[in-house]
Amino acid sequence: SLSSAQNAYAVSWFFGKQLNFVFGLQLSFARVGSLVNMNTIHRIYDSLDKDVTGPHRIGATLLIAVSTCLISLVCALILWSLDIRRRKVIQEDNPPDPSDEFHIRDIRHFSASLYSVFIICVFYYVAIFPFIAAAQLLFESKYDLSPAWSNACNSLVYFMSAILSPLLGYAVDKTGRNLYWLMGSITTTIIAHA
């Protein structure tokens, strides 16, 4: 997926104490994209000519959204060419070590704490994303908000994530204790949803 590719680039370009901050920045930009999408796509649809019928109107709206993806594609191609150049420079200085290659059987040697992080992330996202998907309808039906205000309230999660992700990534880099930070964030989420 796109997120896996981003993380692979981040791991190859950044090391050690910088990595959590970079992951936070990546997540922040992804959340800003979600925030903009949630708050503009409905407005773009409403701003189109009223004489255009539903399917053509949604098609035009999605075409506008796709144009932003094309800009992202151009940026990805630039990054790809920079990464190829970086790899050539690294290979000239340090030839690759065959023992550094990853093999599927290497997962047997992952630590129990790493597997617990995998499990926590899966269950965490399985709980959060359905809530975000259903939250707009919840805000409209329970609190009688308009679709625009429902989207604005729903996007607060992404807004907070966009601001806090790099800050907390920096804090994790400075303090270490990744699992304690993870448990703290899960506890905070449980309290927020209680």
Q: Which residues contact 35 (CB under 8 A, 6 or more apart)?
A: 155, 158, 159, 162
Q: Is residue 106 part of a domain?
A: no
Helix (H) or strand (E) holding 21: helix 19-47
| Residue whose C-alpha is closest to residue 84's, from 177, 9, 29, 158 | 9
Cα–Cα distance between 169 and 156 in angstroms, integer? 19
Instruction: State which residues form the domain around 64.
Output: 2-98+112-193
Cα–Cα distance between 194 and 180 in angstroms, integer? 21
DSSP annotation of 50 reads T
Q: Is residue 50 part of a domain?
A: yes
Lowest mean pLDDT among 46-50, 90-94, 126-130, 189-193: 90-94
Q: For the chain, how many structural domains are there in total?
A: 1
Cα–Cα distance between 194 and 167 in angstroms, integer? 25
Q: Which residues contact 42 (CB under 8 A, 6 or more apart)?
A: 147, 148, 151
The reported pTM is: 0.62
Q: Is residue 107 part of a domain?
A: no
Asked whether the predicted pLDDT for residue 78 surpasses 90, the reply is yes
Asked whether the predicted pLDDT for residue 65 surpasses 70, the reply is yes
Q: What is the pLDDT of residue 96?
A: 67
Cα–Cα distance between 153 and 97 in angstroms, integer? 51
Q: Provide, rounded to the nearest whole percent, the portion of the chain with pLDDT above 90.
A: 7
Cα–Cα distance between 30 and 129 in angstroms, integer? 14
More confident residue, 142 or 4: 142
Lowest mean pLDDT among 15-24, 105-114, 133-142, 147-156: 15-24
Take residue 143 and report the two structure tokens written for it.
């609190």
